Structure 1
């Protein structure tokens, strides 16, 4: 496997994901050659991330009217390992790699219907105040939910 800076041991890393979200590549997401447009990967990351946050119970807190914090993406990257085509069925895996005072570093893995690893990725989400745009620390409820969803030894 390629040397990817944010992955120490590729096999261990790939096997450590427990949450996945299924997607199917639509025709509108492909280019003239029938393979996935490179920008659509970030949409798949977003879908997987939102569903992951719903699953662990933090998305609901961000969406409440009284809540002050919202998550924003501060950086996002991916590595393309294998082409993806129209009508492929994919599993978008998401996990927490590390938790900071105001941020969380997420890792992504996308496999096709044959179990082949096609894409890896990582990104940092920062919780910011809705009105000021300045980062704010996790409250205890969110921090506990983030920690309880991790299986990584890095946390």
Structure 2
């Protein structure tokens, strides 16, 4: 299964008064990593939506081992946990520029038909690229 590495620079506005990245920003970092993972496969999320497929987040788990700081360059390793069905599950590891493991996370998303609002199976064009 495909893995991908994404780099994100921590901006000042993402930190709290102590200079630590606020926990709410990790959901955005993981989304950036997922979108790049799809792009690596040759799939545009915008194109998916225009063709009737959405991927809302069903579950998000994070374990913070060490704080990310302002100006850190984060490396996010994204991996697909298993072949998707109606659900697609990703695992993430977030490192700083010193290769220190900061955060371990996972997301579970549901393939959703944009017209019916109902869950659907993973589109064949994604399965073929895996």
Q: Structures share a fold, TM > 0.5?
A: yes
Number of the residue aligned with 2:34? 49
TM-score (norm 1): 0.77
> Relative contact order: is structure 1 or structure 2 higher (C-alpha 8 Å, sep ≥ 6)?
2
CA contact (8 A) 1:127 1:136 kept: yes
CA distance in 2: counterparts of 1:127 and 1:34, whole angstroms? 37
TM-score, reference length from structure 2: 0.91
Identify the match of residue 92 of structure 2 among 108, 124, 135: 108
Query: 1:131 offset after TM fit, Å?
Result: 1.8
Name stretches of at least 5 consecutive residues in structure 1 with no aligned partner.
Answer: 1-15, 149-155
C-alpha distance after superposition, 1:85-109 (max 9, x if no partner): 1001111111100234211110011
Superposed structure 1 runs of 4+ greater than 4 Å apart: none
Q: Name stretches of at least 5 consecutive residues in structure 2 with no aligned partner.
A: none
User: The residue matched to 2:30 in structure 1 has which SS?
Assistant: helix
Aligned length: 129
Asked if 1:68 is matched to 2:47, the reply is no
Distance in 1 between residues matched to 2:110 and 2:42, nearest whole Å: 17
